[in-house]
Amino acid sequence: MSMTTSVEEQKKAQRAGVTARRVQAYAILVAWAVLILIFTLLLPDTFLTVQNFTAIANSKTATVLLTLGLVFALAAGEFDLSIGASLSLGAAVPAWLYSAHGIPVVVGVGIALAAAVLFGLLNGMLSVRYSIPSLIVTLGTGTALLGVVAGLVGNSTISVKGDWWNDFVSHKTFGLYTSFWFVLLVAFIVWYVLQHTPVGRHLYFVGQGREVARLAGIRVNSYRYSSLVLSATMGALAGAILLGNTGAVQARVGQAFILAAFAAAFLGSTAIVPGRFNAWGTVVAVYFIETGITGLQLLGFQAWVSDVFYGTALVVGVLVATLATRLRSRLSARSTSEERK
């Protein structure tokens, strides 16, 4: 094989790879538009309304924040299954401190966040220092934390009526909650950190090529610790936001969020920056899924539809990512096996 053909072949293959990547990056936006179009045709009066869209935007701010935290963990190669428990911690503990002890919610939120930092450090210590896979660690610690929270606050729904937190978080500006604008700001910061700082690049290498990163002088363990602390803390903050949005929560509220966050994170990793857990892909994925669920519910389907939708989204998201990677490597990778002896 002559060198020139191989260069041309590779350049051609590379162009094909870039095109495939670009198509994949925005495919979800097209799918989202198609989804909106279908529901608009089916529900001409109710679906395509400002109220409906602000309702969708406002209802998912906690999920977006929770998933953005999870993105840090996943990018670093850590599976954090305890984010649901962190969310419960951030929602139920401040509510209980308020209703049972009269402590202002904002103080309770501060306490919950501090606890979440410690919880994240515990996860980090078990999975980094003792090399236990984070999947196992967080399955255990998450279940334990959820139990502790439930034991502390009981099983009833706790309301925080009368505190200013609720009004503040759900105050509408241009029809959208404070929490929506806040989460948008967080998404912007996450995007900036992951995409535009050395820290973000290092984090991706820690997740994808841990030894490569270590041998390049990156403090891999610090990154792993930080990612687990971030996912726990952002999970607790998401809980506080959920409390502010709904005004009342139960101890086990976080459980239902675990799958939603994983589905959105994995679906999001196929979009905007395909192949990487990324901020805007995550935001789009959360709202894409919510649009589908809202539309189906407006059509008269019951609440079970959200389980079906989230579960499907997770598997389809990963499937798409896998198939796309396979396609890309078929397009762009030239087999090097011939040269390896």
Partner 1 sequence: MVTETVLELHGLSKTFGATRALADVDFDVRAGEVHGLVGRNGSGKSTLIKVLSGYHVPDPGGRLIIGGDTVPLPVTGRAAAEHGLVFVHQDLGLVGAYSILENIRLNSWSSKGFERIHWKAERASVEEELSRFGLVANPDTPIDSLSQVDRAIVAIVRAMHHLGVSGDGTGDASGKVLVLDEPTAYLPTDSVERLFDAVRAVAATGAGVVFVSHRTDEVLNITDRITVLRDGKLVDTVVTADTDEDALVALILGRALDSFYPDPVQTPPGERVLTVEGLTGALVKDLDLTVDRGEIVGLTGLMGAGHDEIPYYIFGARDAVAGHVNVNGDDLPIAKSTPTDAIAAGVALLPADRLNLSGSAAASVEDNVALPVLKKYFARGRLQLAVVRDRVGGLMTDFDVRPAVPSLEFSALSGGNQQKALLAKWLQMEPSLLLLHEPTQGVDVGSKADIFLRITDSAEAGTAVVIASAEHEDLANLCTRVLVFDSGRVVGELKGSELSEERILELCYRGGREAGITAASTDNAAQRTFRWRPHRVGYGD
Contact, 250 vs 155, CB < 8 A? yes
Give yes or no for residue 130 binding partner 1 (CB under 8 A). no
- The residue assigned the tokens 């196929």 is 270
Q: How far is the CB of 210 from partner 1 (least distance, A)?
A: 9
Give yes or no for residue 198 binding partner 1 (CB under 8 A). yes
How far apart are the C-alpha atoms of 247 and 157, rounded to whole Å? 10
Nearer to partner 1, 142 or 200 (CB): 200
Give yes or no for residue 202 binding partner 1 (CB under 8 A). yes
How far apart are the C-alpha atoms of 241 and 58, rounded to whole Å? 11
Contact, 67 vs 189, CB < 8 A? no
Q: Which residues are within 8 A (CB) of 32 and not within 5 positions of it... i.e. 6 or more apart?
A: 284, 287, 288, 291
How far apart are the C-alpha atoms of 224 and 1, rounded to whole Å? 44
Tokens of 10: 């590779």
Q: Which of 44, 161, 211, 304 forms a contact with partner 1 (CB under 8 A)?
A: 211
Give yes or no for residue 161 binding partner 1 (CB under 8 A). no
Give yes or no for residue 336 binding partner 1 (CB under 8 A). yes
274: alpha, beta or left? (left if phi > 0; alpha if psi -120 to 50) = beta
Nearer to partner 1, 37 or 185 (CB): 185
Give yes or no for residue 329 binding partner 1 (CB under 8 A). yes
Select from 3-11, 169-177, 250-258, 292-300 the region that touches partner 1 (CB under 8 A): 3-11
Determine the residue type at 89: L
Give yes or no for residue 330 binding partner 1 (CB under 8 A). no
Question: Residue 210's CB: how many other CB atoms inside 10 A?
Answer: 16
Rounded alpha-carbon distances, angstroms, from residue 216 to 202, 212, 219, 220 = 10, 6, 9, 10
Give yes or no for residue 197 binding partner 1 (CB under 8 A). yes
Give yes or no for residue 59 binding partner 1 (CB under 8 A). no
Select from 176-184, 210-218, 290-298, 310-318 the region that touches partner 1 (CB under 8 A): 210-218
Nearer to partner 1, 171 or 201 (CB): 201
Give yes or no for residue 255 binding partner 1 (CB under 8 A). no
Q: How far is the CB of 78 from partner 1 (least distance, A)?
A: 17
Q: Which of 136, 212, 319, 323 forms a contact with partner 1 (CB under 8 A)?
A: 212
> Residues 297, 301, 307, 308: what is their CA dihedral angle, to the nearest 10 degrees?
-120
Q: Which of 129, 219, 326, 330 forms a contact with partner 1 (CB under 8 A)?
A: 219
Binding-site size for partner 1 (CB under 8 A) equals 42
How far apart are the C-alpha atoms of 150 and 114, rounded to whole Å? 18
Q: Which of 83, 230, 278, 328 forms a contact with partner 1 (CB under 8 A)?
A: 328
Nearer to partner 1, 63 or 227 (CB): 227
Nearer to partner 1, 116 or 218 (CB): 218
159: alpha, beta or left? (left if phi > 0; alpha if psi -120 to 50) = beta
Residues from 308 through 327 that contact partner 1 (CB under 8 A): 325
Give yes or no for residue 17 binding partner 1 (CB under 8 A). yes
How far apart are the C-alpha atoms of 260 and 106, rounded to whole Å? 26
How far apart are the C-alpha atoms of 206 and 76, rounded to whole Å? 5
Rounded alpha-carbon distances, angstroms, from residue 59 to 7, 65, 183, 241 = 52, 12, 12, 11
Give yes or no for residue 339 binding partner 1 (CB under 8 A). yes
**By the criterion CB under 8 A, which residues form the site for partner 1?**
3, 6-7, 10-11, 13-14, 17-18, 192, 195-198, 200-202, 204-205, 208-209, 211-219, 275, 325, 328-329, 332-334, 336, 338-341
